[in-house]
Amino acid sequence: MLHFILNGISRGLARVSRPTILRLGARLGWFYGHIVRQRRAEALAALRRSLPELTPTAAVAALNGMYRNLATNLVEILREAGGADENIRDLFSVEGEEIVTAALARGRGALILMAHYGSWELLAMYTAQRKYQLSIVAKKFKNTAVDELWNRLRQRYGITVVYAHNAARTCIRALRENKLVGFMLDQNRPHDKGVFVQFFGRPASTSPGLAVLASQAQAPVIPVFIQRRADGGHHIRILPVIEPPPDRTPETVLRYTQLYTSILEREIRAHPDQWIWIHRRWKAQPRPGDPLATPVCC
């Protein structure tokens, strides 16, 4: 039933103008943040603990912006899934694309360091539409209907989905074929599957997979962020290449994972309304004797 409902909604949204979509996203965001209030108190506490320099008013504004951005992301994606006929390239401005071109000229592919920041799904779609061969490491949605809808849209744009479980071999193959592999690094990992780095001054269990893959494939890592502009469009910032780790020792993997995480933190500090504070990022905590990275300059 949900499958048919989502398809009907997406087809309806495809016929709606973009300005209307943005207004709808803002209203749904208000409803999400003020009526549904999913993890609102918990998210606000995390935001204020992470950014104590924000005034209470600024912290609430950032949180409201997060709910608005998440809701707008949803209606934008559903609109695309319904077959909207606009060229999504028209929605983007890009800074630093030459960095990707130069990295791929090496012939080893590139790992894209990403976060649940801005409209991350549209970032993947835009990248694929630019004719880059892109694979993304992702988890399955718990709801089968949502998972099918999202993957149908990804496939429509030429994105290859690599499910996170046992993804290493597929990712290495893609890199050896000189493709891009997108890797999210901003989610909590279970204690026994992560390494502990500093994120906003607190230990956060983080996947070591990006550092391990970069070292094994000797592929560069490129941080890429997408930010929603005031006019409702999107700006993509591509940051300079991070060279692959020289080895895969636990100490090196931990150090590079901290480096990648520090870059994410810097971006989130600049635009806190763009990140998903409702995620329980610090759920897993270190036990006595666990290695813990120290913050690095990014």
CA 78 to CA 90: how far, in whole Å?
A: 18
Q: What is the pLDDT of residue 6?
A: 74
Query: Beta partners for 111?
Result: 181, 221
Query: Beta partners for 222?
Result: 112
CA 216 to CA 212: how far, in whole Å?
A: 6
Q: What is the pLDDT of residue 196?
A: 97
Q: What is the pLDDT of residue 39?
A: 97
CA 137 to CA 164: how far, in whole Å?
A: 6
Q: What type of residue sits at position 200? A: F
CA 217 to CA 180: how far, in whole Å?
A: 12
The domain segmentation of the chain, as residue ranges, is 90-274
Backbone angles phi, psi at 262, to 5 degrees: -65, -35
Q: What type of residue sits at position 157? A: Y
Q: What is the pLDDT of residue 148?
A: 82
Please identify every stretch of the chain with a pLDDT value under 50, giving residue numbers as ranges. Answer: none
Q: What is the pLDDT of residue 128?
A: 86
User: What is the total residue count of the chain?
Assistant: 298
Q: What is the pLDDT of residue 83?
A: 81
Q: What type of residue sits at position 80? A: E
Pairing of β 221-228 and β 202-206: unpaired
Backbone angles phi, psi at 222, to 5 degrees: -120, 115
CA 254 to CA 288: how far, in whole Å?
A: 17
In the sheet that 92-95 helps form, which strands lie side by side, from edge to edge?
92-95, 234-238, 221-228, 110-114, 180-184, 134-138, 160-163
Q: What is the pLDDT of residue 138?
A: 85
Name the token pair of 60.
């609430």
CA 100 to CA 86: how far, in whole Å?
A: 25
Q: What is the pLDDT of residue 57?
A: 98
CA atoms within 13 A on the CB side of 251: 0
Q: Are 122 and 236 in contact (CB under 8 A)?
A: no
Q: Are 117 and 225 in contact (CB under 8 A)?
A: yes
CA 151 to CA 292: how far, in whole Å?
A: 36
Q: What is the pLDDT of residue 289?
A: 87
Name the token pair of 61.
């504004």
Q: pLDDT (tens digit, 9 = 90+) per residue, 158-192?
A: 899 888 777 899 999 999 999 999 999 999 999 99
Q: What is the pLDDT of residue 164?
A: 76
